[in-house]
Amino acid sequence: MAKKFTLTNENYYTKEANEKYLSVSLYKMFFGTLGQKGCEVQAMAYINGDYKKEPTTAMLVGSYVDSYFEGTLENFKEIHPELFKRDGSLKSEFVQAEDIIKRIERDNKFMQYMSGEKQTIMTGELAGAQWKIKMDSYIPHRAIVDLKVVDDIYKPYYHKDTGRLNFIQERGYDFQLAVYQHIVEMNTGERLPCFIAAADKGKVTNIELIQITQGELDGALAGVEYGVNRINRIKNGEIQPERCGRCDYCKETKIIHKPISMSELLDFEG
Ligand SMILES: [Zn+2]
């Protein structure tokens, strides 16, 4: 009999957890978001443990602020020596993270939304797969809040096919909260309002609490059945994952079969 696997903070990002559960970040690795392309071969290589995603400085800044609110910043600093300069002081990006934290702490409403249970894990079924979620601030019976540290809260993103997008649409954060809302409802029977608590890295930090409406949440889940079905069939070996041709994993594993024409160099224009 297969041994029972219980998802915890310690094993949340392990290979075993990624094989057993789908997550918003895994799903985005396959299909991307409106603003960032995904890659099926890279996602499968990640699940199989053949590809490791190195966190960018921007991701580390986000994790720094997350871990402060979780109360685990000291441990986070210990396992990330790359936060520090040679003289032992914080690099400028993380000095800014400290300033962002201080700005957030000056706002009562923002702090109230961040006062929920931190990094709460739940699992549940959505669109024919088991998903795992980890919420930044879960306020039982009240709200689901995800903290985001972004470049500029009011910056628009342009794409030929989508037009103007805000950072939430660009990064698929509406999809993320829609999945969280569904899994929480599966576990508790309660459908909770969803918010992004955003702080930015402008010269003067801007902060905002942004509610994603129910209509926007429902819209963000359009197509998830198709996506999950495709991931399941790729995992079963029924279909081959597609190469995006642009990501680091595709570059690393590329084999040239024939020359391309000059005009193809602009085919990927985003
Ligand atoms: Zn790729």
Is the pLDDT score of 145 beyond 70?
Answer: yes
Every domain of the chain and the residues it spans: 37-252
Give the pLDDT confidence score for residue 266 in this predicted structure: 85
Is the pLDDT score of 183 beyond 90?
Answer: yes
Structure tokens at 62: 């986000």
pLDDT digits 0-9 by tens, 107-133:
999 999 999 999 999 999 999 999 999
Is the pLDDT score of 138 beyond 60?
Answer: yes
Q: Apex CA 265: angle with CA 262 and CA 269, to 5°?
A: 145
46 Cα–ligand 1 center, Å:
11
193 Cα–ligand 1 center, Å:
35
Q: Whole-model pTM?
A: 0.93
Question: At 201, which helix (H) or strand (E)?
Answer: none
pLDDT digits 0-9 by tens, 29-65:
999 999 889 999 999 999 999 998 888 999 999 999 9
248 Cα–ligand 1 center, Å:
7
Residue with structure tokens 């003289």?
Answer: 87
36 Cα–ligand 1 center, Å:
12
3 Cα–ligand 1 center, Å:
34
The predicted model gives 87-106 an average pLDDT of: 97
What CATH fold (topology level) applies to the domain 37-252?
Lambda Exonuclease; Chain A (3.90.320)
Residue with structure tokens 């903290």?
Answer: 147
| CA separation for the pair 198, 208 (Å, rounded) | 5
79 Cα–ligand 1 center, Å:
29
